[in-house]
Amino acid sequence: MKVHAILEFDLEEENGTPVILVERLQHAAGDTDHAIRHRLMGAGFLGGELLIGSWTLRTEVVAAAPGDPDPPP
């Protein structure tokens, strides 16, 4: 069995305007990828004696707004 976690977010400027420039969204996706790989997974985050055997991270920019929070089957 596996744990499947999905992080999905939209971006806004400080004034609340949605970010629509693909370059800015791609930059944010890259920053997110880096943060998860180096800060979260690199430093470890599970308590006790749990270890992560293998993991996969995919980051992408999608045209649709964040949707249903339930992961696909």
Domain boundaries, the chain: 16-42
Can you give the pLDDT at residue 64?
67
What pLDDT, on a 0 to 100 scale, did the predictor assign at position 2? 84
pLDDT of residue 44 exceeding 90: no
Locus of tokens 């370059």: 23
State mean pLDDT over 46-63. Answer: 85
Alpha carbon dihedral 63, 64, 66, 71, in 10-degree steps, equals -100
